[in-house]
Amino acid sequence: MDLLTAIEASPLATFLRESTSVWAYPTVLMLHTVGLALLVGLNAAFDLRLLGVGRGVPLDALETWFPVMWIGFWLNLVTGVLLFATDPIRLGTTTIFFSKLAIVVAGVILIPLLRRAVYGRVAGQAPAIPPLAKVYALLSLVLWTAAIVTGRFMAYVSEIA
C-alpha cells in the first residue's frame, strides 16, 4: 500500500492527474485507445481470417501486421503504466484491474504463439491453417474482447462496487 501511495504522490502522476493541459491525461488516454485499435483491431481481423472470414486474403501477406500489433502493444504498455500511476490506490486494490492485467498477459503470450502456429513452417509454402492456429485465434478473440470489457469497467468499478 505504501508503494501505491508513493506512486500516486509522484511528480509524474500528480502532473498527469492535475494538469489542465490537453497534452497530459487526455492525450495519454487517447493514445491508449489508438494502441487498442491497432493491437486488438488487427488481432481481431487476423483471428477472423483464420476462422474463415475473407478467405481470399492471402495469409502470407498478413505477417506484416504483427509488427504493427506490437507497436500497439508497446504504446499501450507505456500509456497503461501512466494511466495506472494517476490512480494506483483505487486500481491497485480492485479485482477488475488484476483481471484485466491477467487477461492482457494471456493475450500477449498468444501473439507469438499464433504467429508461429500460422507461419512457422517451410518458407515459400502457401500456409494452410493448422487446427491449433484456429484454437489460438478463437482464444485470442475472446481474450481481447474480455480485455476491453474489463478495461472499460475499471472506469466504473468504484461507482458500482
Touching other proteins, residues 134-153 (CB under 8 A): 144-145, 148-149, 151-153
Burial of 131 (C-beta count, 10 Å sphere; 0-12/13-18/19+): exposed
DSSP state of 61: G
Pick between residue 9 and residue 26 the one whose CB is nearest to other proteins. Answer: 26
CA–CA separation, 96 vs 88, rounded Å? 13
Q: Closest separation between CB of residue 155 and other proteins, Å? A: 8
Cell of 27: 492525450
Tallying the residues shown for the chain, one arrives at: 161
Smallest distance from other proteins to CB 5, Å: 26
Distance in angstroms (rounded) separating the CA atoms of residues 20 and 145: 32
Binding mask 23-62 for other proteins (x = CB under 8 A): --xx--xx--xx-xxx-xxxxxx--xx---xxxxxx-xxx
Q: Which is nearer to other proteins, 51 or 135 (CB)?
A: 51
* Cβ-based nearer residue to other proteins, 6 or 103: 103
Residue 1, CA distances (Å) to 44, 81, 104, 139 in order: 37, 17, 23, 34
Contacts with other proteins, residue ranges (CB under 8 A): 22, 25-26, 29-30, 33-34, 36-38, 40-45, 48-49, 53-58, 60-62, 64-65, 144-145, 148-149, 151-153, 155-156, 159-160
